[in-house]
Amino acid sequence: MSNTNYDPQRNEEIKGRCPIADSELCEWLGKNGCYQCYISSLKSSAQKEEALEHWKVTLSYLPDNIDDLHMSDECQFCKDEPPEKAEYYATFEMAHPEPYAEKGMILGLGKKVRTPIGSLLSIQASVGKECKKAMKMTDALQIGTFLGFLVLAFVLLMIPQIGQAMANWMAFMPYIFIALMLLAGYFLGKNLAAAHLKKIKKRVKVNLTEIPLIKQMLNRGWFFFQTGSDGMPKIFFHKTKIYDRLKRPCECAEEEEDEMLDNINI
Ligand SMILES: [Zn+2]
């Protein structure tokens, strides 16, 4: 991180005055120092405390062992036992309706409208080399085939016997040709990607709901944010983690209640 003016002593001073200091929210947001923390940009203490309250609500909807998802040394996506060694982090976004959030003054009518999203989190899960490769291949096939056909269309048009012949036949023929090639590339890519997905489904949890901790989150009201046609969110892969942990290890004894909540099937 390029926080050149980071001064540990001054950071401690600011932290001493901050109402969220040493909370879970502080740990999550403030790992790069108070200078880069969103909370320190808020003007009043009340706003900071409100942010902390919201964060507590967000965390209350997460399973206590949520951090096992990315702290595990084992790939979370492997269907085979034993799973491969985790080397990367798969990141995707999940949202929850709580805490209550409202959009004010729509069209100046002064009507408060409840927003469907109260919490939005990037969730990371540990993933191994093989599963990452298999999942990335799906996108590569789709985009690669499309681009391949685009290039091929232009290459063919540059051959005078083809390009010139088409233009001589009808002036707009080359454009139709390009459009048809793009369409063909799109659908072929889609089919290749779908076939690949079907093949890897046997060994990779392409459907994120098959990951137990994600299943628990869904049971607690979380949902995938901005999903594709398959109902799954976009997954990004990183070599380094984007957060250390969301929840502190729990000392509380609410196991039974949690179990009940997590076993409800929706
Ligand atoms: Zn794996």
Q: Per the domain annotation, does 191 fall within a domain?
A: yes
User: What is the pLDDT confidence band of residue 102, given thresholds at 50, 70 and 90?
Assistant: low
User: What is the pLDDT confidence band of residue 174, given thresholds at 50, 70 and 90?
Assistant: confident
d(CA 126, ligand 1 centre) in Å: 9
- The tokens for 228 are 């594709």
User: What is the pLDDT confidence band of residue 192, given thresholds at 50, 70 and 90?
Assistant: very high
User: What is the pLDDT confidence band of residue 10, given thresholds at 50, 70 and 90?
Assistant: confident
d(CA 128, ligand 1 centre) in Å: 5
The predicted pLDDT at position 198 comes to: 92
d(CA 12, ligand 1 centre) in Å: 41
Average pLDDT, stretch 66-81?
Answer: 93
- The total of structural domains in the chain comes to 2
d(CA 79, ligand 1 centre) in Å: 7
Q: Per the domain annotation, does 239 fall within a domain?
A: no
* Residues present in the chain in total: 266
For the cut 90, the answer to whether the pLDDT of residue 84 exceeds it is: yes
The predicted pLDDT at position 124 comes to: 95
Q: Per the domain annotation, does 167 fall within a domain?
A: yes
Sign of the Cα torsion 19, 22, 25, 30 reads positive
CB 44 within 8 A of CB 15: no
* Secondary structure element (H or E) that encloses residue 103, with its range: strand 102-103
User: What is the pLDDT confidence band of residue 248, given thresholds at 50, 70 and 90?
Assistant: confident
Q: Per the domain annotation, does 40 fall within a domain?
A: yes
d(CA 83, ligand 1 centre) in Å: 6
Of 168 and 38, which is predicted with more confidence?
168
d(CA 137, ligand 1 centre) in Å: 14
d(CA 186, ligand 1 centre) in Å: 29
d(CA 119, ligand 1 centre) in Å: 29
The predicted pLDDT at position 53 comes to: 84
* Domain end residue (candidates: 200, 225, 248): 200
Candidate from 55-59, 93-97, 185-189 with smallest mean pLDDT: 55-59
* Domain end residue (candidates: 200, 222, 255): 200
Phi and psi at 9, nearest 5°, equal -70, -45
d(CA 235, ligand 1 centre) in Å: 14
For the cut 80, the answer to whether the pLDDT of residue 16 exceeds it is: no
Average pLDDT, stretch 251-258?
Answer: 52
The predicted pLDDT at position 109 comes to: 56
Q: Containing domain of residue 37, as a range?
A: 9-60
% of the chain surpassing 90 pLDDT = 46
**Number of neighbours of residue 114 by Cβ within 10 angstroms:** 10
Q: Per the domain annotation, does 225 fall within a domain?
A: no
d(CA 10, ligand 1 centre) in Å: 43
* Domain end residue (candidates: 41, 60, 79): 60
d(CA 132, ligand 1 centre) in Å: 7
CA distance 76 to 128: 8
Q: Per the domain annotation, does 178 fall within a domain?
A: yes
Q: Per the domain annotation, does 218 fall within a domain?
A: no
Of 22 and 145, which is predicted with more confidence?
145
**Number of neighbours of residue 193 by Cβ within 10 angstroms:** 19
Q: Per the domain annotation, does 179 fall within a domain?
A: yes
For the cut 60, the answer to whether the pLDDT of residue 161 exceeds it is: yes
Q: Is 129 helix (H, G, I), strand (E, B) or coil?
A: helix
Q: Which of 259, 211, 190, 247 is nearest to 92 (CA)?
A: 211
What's the Cα-to-Cα distance from 30 to each of 11, 25, 33, 95, 137, rounded to whole Å? 10, 8, 5, 22, 36
Candidate from 12-26, 121-135, 212-226 with smallest mean pLDDT: 12-26
d(CA 50, ligand 1 centre) in Å: 40
The predicted pLDDT at position 256 comes to: 47
